[in-house]
Amino acid sequence: MGTVSHKEFMQMLEPAWMKGSTVLKRTCLLVITNGFLYWRLATEAEVPVERMPLDAHMSLLRKSGE
């Protein structure tokens, strides 16, 4: 497990996020990518974002039974 900076996380969200949005202070987020699961609890603070690596054995996106 590890973290990414608030800035890096916001860059990941930018394509789907309204610029200047204040929603983060009231929203818990989960972001699933090919390699990681990211989670950020609701806060106004610019905090590091937790992440967990996903490999072939832990993938949340693999077909059932594989």
What pLDDT was estimated at residue 55?
A: 77
pLDDT of residue 21: 58
pLDDT, tens digit, for every residue of 7-63? 998 888 877 766 655 677 788 889 888 888 999 999 888 899 999 988 767 656 566
State the Cα–Cα distance between residues 6 and 12, nearest whole angstrom: 10
Number of residues written out for the chain: 66
Task: Describe the strand order of the beta sheet including 2-4 as a list of residue ranges.
Answer: 2-4, 49-53, 36-40, 29-32
- The residue ranges of every structural domain in the chain are 2-53
